[in-house]
Structure 1
Amino acid sequence: MFSVKLSVLHIFIILWRYYTSTGQICFVHPRKFLVTVSEWTRSIGRRKTKVRMPEIQLGAHTVRSHGVKVARTHMHDWIILLLLIVIEVILNVIEPFHRFVGEDMMTDLKYPMKDNTVPFWAVPMLAIMLPLFVILVYYFIRKDVYDLHHAILGLLFSVLITGVITDAIKDAVGRPRPDFFWRCFPDGKGVFDPVTKDVMCTGIKSVIKEGHKSFPSGHTSWSFAGLGFLALYLSGKIRVFDRQGHVAKLCIIFLPLLIAALVGISRVDDYWHHWQDVFAGGLLGLTVSSFCYLQFFPAPYEVDGWGPHAYFQMLAESRNVNQSNGLNVQQAELESVYVDSQHCRELSRVNTHDSSPILEGTNGRMGY
């Protein structure tokens, strides 16, 4: 006895296929029919399993298995990153615009020179290395090279685009820093042109050059570019906007933004920037980081906000391929059923011819 779980609809489809292909119902041996039906239903189950396979799979897409493929796909993006680095270096080398600074303007530019509370080397650590560390930790947990690659690419684009825009504006505007007087006149004695009344600085050239780069704040823009990207990245991963009302998730998201804000405040406290410089730098960094994040990831409030666009595109393509393969297999099985039915009909004719001449004559008169 064969126990086969088959719906009435599937049996009807098979019998109808037999009838439409042969013109008659082929009476095959029950055992053979049940075996054929059983194999067909099992193949359907296998195809359904294959269609459902492209789901969220931990460890399915690692650096070793898909890293080279993903990197090659975005090779032009990495080339653009290298060009941005070259542009950033050039912008730091060229001389900024020397804005006119009269004697009456020095009143707001006589703040004392102080050391940086947040040194220059600490900015890349906060804006790049800290988000990169979080991204790598998530990769070791998730094992998703798509997320790793696009997060790193988005982070670097966010920081470098922000840096290029910031330094380009710095060089073009040439706004003096709040401590410009002491940069220009280290001895405290102001010297001005007798005709134009412009400053005639006597200080160190490199210090004076840096004194013309107040707007916007580079520390602030870089910090908000990197830490703002990190905040968006974390908001998608921990699903802050899942409508569950977990305020603790918001505290995690606000922490990188708070660090970036404190960096900006330190620039005002150190008299390296005016408050307008810090405000503009923070706004610039957040804007660029948002654009760069949305270029690679869905918005954090969306259902699929936890993963990159490329990952879901890959799943969709895999699902379409599996569905196409399933349809091809189903067509091949139907053709196999048709061939079996033809073979069955031929065997039936041979058996009738050998066993019953009367039936042969009857069939001949009926035109078969």
Structure 2
Amino acid sequence: MREVQLGSHTLRSHGYTVARTHMHDWLILFLLVVIDIILYVIHPFYRFVGKDMMTDLKYPLKSNTVPAWAVPIYAVLLPMLIFIVVYIRRRDIYDLHHSILGLLFSVLVTAVITDAIKNAVGRPRPDFFWRCFPDGKDVYDTLGDVICHGDKSVIKEGHKSFPSGHTSGSFAGLGFLSLYLSGKIKAFDSKGHVAKLCIVFLPLLFALLVGISRVDDYWHHWQDVFAGGLLGLVMATFCYLQFFPPPYHSEGWGPYAYFRMLEESRGMTQVPNAQTGDQTQLLEALVANQDDRQSYHGCMSLGLVRDHGSTLDELESGRR
């Protein structure tokens, strides 16, 4: 019943108004981008790495199965494409705007937290030995700390193991998509459609496989992947619930703003109706009162005529 007004708020009619209402949110998103760039540029904490610690850091230096440039494609652009498809079908600018805004917040907040922790912890990657000593000849100072002679950018990247950025970004974007789809298809409507759960779990499965690839490529320890996945999923849940009801809710298929708009429009229509009703009742009362007066005066007139007629009869008969 509450989906009747879908299609009346499109990108052309209300897009600018909705975006202007959330102008400060978009400014904060731009600020998050700047902060994340700064965190990526600065050097992480160079943790002490002794010779006895190299036992778990001598894994081979491999290339990425999932390159870094692919993460924004499947974690941001792919969900946005699905949001646009839903908008074409439902024509609800509130849903399109808030889904994109929530997705970007989820990914960018996760990226800022992830990079901040990376720089603060400075944990060496499993392939740190070959990053530090590409020729295989390890060198240490008097305190037993490593003296790396490899490429500086490669060494710098070798101190950013915890948590996994690929995993946190994947779960932040695809986790948000999973929650979005579960609300749209009403996966938790108590009707027992397991096929809906398969659709919900598919983005999470892909994010999980990305995290596993990070361990297989020896770029991360399993603790890095676990922490990154947990961080991304938690942020996706927080950001989604900021704009949408829980997926198990009866109104989980739409954003809060859509239902708020319905309540406001309903309140605006009820006030004129109430005023019209009061005016109608007033007019009915006036008409009824006028009818009563007319009937009352009519009876009085008949009485006067009858009295006048009887008086004439008495005069003519000589009684008066």
TM score, norm. by length of structure 1: 0.80
| Residue of structure 2 equivalent to 1:74 | 22
CA distance, structure 1, for counterparts of residue 223 and residue 167 of structure 2: 11
User: 226, 241, 254: which one pairs with 2:188?
Assistant: 241
| Residue of structure 1 equivalent to 2:213 | 266
Question: Counterpart amino acid of 1:147?
Answer: D
Question: Counterpart amino acid of 1:75?
Answer: M
| Residue of structure 2 equivalent to 1:139 | 87
| Residue of structure 1 equivalent to 2:11 | 63
CA distance, structure 2, for counterparts of residue 303 and residue 355 of structure 1: 68
Where does 1:286-365 land on structure 2 (aligned, <5 Å)?
A: 286-345=233-292, 347-348=294-295, 357-358=304-305
Tell whether 2:233 aligns with 1:283.
Answer: no
User: 41, 52, 74: which one pairs with 1:126?
Assistant: 74
| Residue of structure 2 equivalent to 1:175 | 123
CA distance, structure 2, for counterparts of residue 151 and residue 260 of structure 1: 19
Provide Cα deviations, 1:212-250, integer angstroms capped at 9, x if missing partner: 000000000000000000000000111111111111111
Kindly report structure 1 stretches of 4+ aligned residues shifted beyond 4 Å. 345-356, 358-361
User: 90, 93, 100: which one pairs with 2:38?
Assistant: 90
Question: Counterpart amino acid of 1:64?
Answer: R
> Partner of 1:261: helix, strand, or coil?
helix
Question: Counterpart amino acid of 2:269?
Answer: N
Identity %: 66
Moved more, 339-348 or 230-239: 339-348
Distance 1:169 1:359, change over 3 A: farther
Where does 1:23-34 land on structure 2 (aligned, <5 Å)?
A: none
TM score, norm. by length of structure 2: 0.92
Distance 1:238 1:95, change over 3 A: same
CA distance, structure 2, for counterparts of residue 359 and residue 279 of structure 1: 105
Following superposition, the deviation at residue 55 of structure 1 comes to 4.8
RMSD: 1.8
Following superposition, the deviation at residue 279 of structure 1 comes to 0.6
Question: Counterpart amino acid of 1:183?
Answer: R
Distance 1:256 1:55, change over 3 A: closer
| Aligned residue-pair number | 308
CA contact (8 A) 1:178 1:272 kept: yes
Question: Counterpart amino acid of 2:180?
Answer: Y
Unaligned runs of 5+ in 2: 309-320
Question: Counterpart amino acid of 2:26?
Answer: W
Distance 1:72 1:219, change over 3 A: same
> Partner of 1:189: helix, strand, or coil?
coil
Following superposition, the deviation at residue 56 of structure 1 comes to 2.9
Provide Cα deviations, 1:314-348, integer angstroms capped at 9, x if missing partner: 11122222222211110011111233234435545
Tell whether 2:171 aligns with 1:232.
Answer: no
